[in-house]
Amino acid sequence: MNGIEERLREAFGAGAETVRPHAGAHAENARRLRRARVRRRIAVPSAVVATAVVATAAAVAAPLALSGPPEDAPDTLGGITGRPPGVPMDASSIVTIPTRLPGGGTFRADAVGADGSVIGRAPDGRVWRAGPGGGTPRRLGGRAAGGLATGRGFGTWIAPGSNRLNCRVPGGLTRGIDDQGAMAERPVLAGGGVVIGSDVMDQPFLATGCGAGKTMENPRGSFGYAKALAYPTLFTVDPTDKANGLREVDVRTSEITKRHPLPGGVRAQKPTGKPSGSMGGLTSVGPDRRPKGVQIPVEGPLSPEPVWQAAATGRYFAWAVDGTVTIFDRKTWTRVLGIHQGRPLTAGQAPAVRLTAGDDVIAYTVAGLATVWDTRSVRLATWRGEVLAAGGWLLWRDGSVYRLGRTR
C-alpha cells in the first residue's frame, strides 16, 4: 500500500472511495502516486529560553549578512526591554501576553491572526489562545501536531495522528472543517475571513471561519498544496514542477492568475527509482462511451522535499531556505532583498524557523534571533527573540513575556 492510500485510509476508513478528485485527476493522480511516503515534520514546542537582552551588535549570536535595500536605509538594532523591534508602533495598542500558563507550563506562540489574536502551544502540545487585548492565554483545545491558525473568534489545529482540521470558537463547540482530511505538515493559513489548508491529496481546501470546508477546484489542472496567503491571493506549490511549480490563485474565483518557477534554492522533487508497478481502479470513457479501467504506473519514491517556508504581503513574496531569506517584488517578480543567516540550518533547527508577513512587515526568526523588514521605510532591524507578523499586528518576545501591538 503506497503513502497516498495509507493517508486516505486513515482519513476516511472504508469510505475512501468516495473522495472526490479534482478535474484532471487522471494526470494528477499519476503524479501524486509517485509519493511513497509523506515526511511528517511536527514542530514540537520547546521550552522557552530566557535571554538577557542588550542593545549592542556584539550581542547577536549568529552573524547576518544583509544585501539590499539601498545604502541610505541603515540597519537598526532592537533589543531594549519594552521597545518594539525596529518597527513604528501605535504605543497605545501594545499589550502583554504572559508566557506562564495556569497550572504551569510555558506558552509558545505559533501564529498571529490578522485580527490580533495569538495561538500557540504549551510543552505538552495543548493549544492556547489570547485575544488582541492580551492577558494570559486561555485553553482552546486538545494537543496539536500542526495546523495552528487564528482569526476573528476562532482557532484551528490538527491533533497528533489525525487528519482532521479542528476549528473552535472560544467557549463554543469544536468541529472539523476540512473537506477530505488535512495535512499536519502543511501550513494552515488564515486571512480575509477564510481558512485554507491542504488535504490528503495535497489539494487546497477553503473554509469561511469555522464553516464547512470545500476543496478548491480548477478545471484546467491542479493547484498544488497551499503555501502562503495574502488575501485574496493564495500561493500554491507543486514540488515536482520546477518551471511552473509556484502558482498564484485568486481564492474568490479559484483561478490561477500567475505561474512562477519554484523559488531559488527550492529543489524540485524527482523520482529516485524505477516504477514499482501499476494501480488500477480509476475509470475513463472509451470510444464506445462505456467506462473502462485505467492502469496508472506507480513510480518509485521521490527525492526528499526541501524544507522551506514562505510568506506574502500585497506587494512582496518571501521565502526562506537553507538559511537564506529572499524577498521578491510581486509586480516585477524581481529580487529586492536577501537576508543571509550565515550558515545552512541543521534538520534539528528547522522547526525553530519562522517566516511571517503582515501588511507592511516581514519577519524571519531562526534560533531565537529575528530579522524584521519594515517594507514602508525599507529598514531592517534585528531582535533577540521571536517576532511574528500578521495583518497590522506584530508580536515579539520580550524577556519572559510576549508583547503585541499594532504597526503604524
Q: What pLDDT does 351 receive?
A: 64
Across 169-181, average pLDDT:
88
The 10 Å Cβ neighbour count of residue 391 is 22
Which residues does 2 contact at the CB level (< 8 Å), separation at least 6? 33, 35, 36, 279, 298
Q: What pLDDT does 58 receive?
A: 31
Q: What pLDDT does 30 receive?
A: 39
CA–chain centroid gap for 52, Å, is 30
Judge whether residue 252 has pLDDT over 70: yes
pLDDT, greater one: 74 or 340: 340
Q: What pLDDT does 37 receive?
A: 36
Q: What pLDDT does 36 receive?
A: 35
Closest CA to 177 of 143, 229, 150, 214: 214
d(CA 405, CA 88): 10
CA–chain centroid gap for 128, Å, is 19
Report the chain's mean pLDDT, rounded to a whole number: 79
38-269+304-406 is classed CATH 1.10.3470.10: no
How far is the CA of 402 from the CAs of 4, 156, 166, in angstroms? 40, 21, 26
**Domain limits, the chain:** 38-269+304-406
Instruction: Classify residue 131 as exposed, middle or buried by CB count within 10 Å of its CB (0-12, 13-18, 19+).
Output: buried
Across 208-235, average pLDDT:
92
Q: What pLDDT does 379 receive?
A: 92
Judge whether residue 72 has pLDDT over 70: no
Q: What is the pTM of this model?
A: 0.77
Question: Cis before residue 85, ω within 30 degrees of 0?
Answer: no
| Helix (DSSP H) and strand (DSSP E) numbers for the chain | 2, 32
Question: Cis before residue 69, ω within 30 degrees of 0?
Answer: yes
How far is the CA of 73 from the CAs of 60, 229, 334, 336, 356, in angstroms? 20, 28, 19, 13, 22
Across 181-205, average pLDDT:
95
d(CA 292, CA 286): 6
Lowest mean pLDDT among 4-13, 92-101, 214-223, 305-314: 4-13
CA–chain centroid gap for 365, Å, is 14
**Composition of the chain by helix, strand, coil, percent to 5:** 10, 40, 50
d(CA 96, CA 404): 6
Q: What pLDDT does 47 receive?
A: 32
Judge whether residue 7 has pLDDT over 60: no
Q: Locate 388 and state its grid cell.
A: 511574528
Judge whether residue 81 has pLDDT over 60: no
Q: What pLDDT does 368 receive?
A: 84
Q: What pLDDT does 130 receive?
A: 97
- pLDDT tens digits for range 333-371: 999 999 886 566 665 666 678 999 999 999 999 888 899
The 10 Å Cβ neighbour count of residue 400 is 12
pLDDT, greater one: 197 or 6: 197
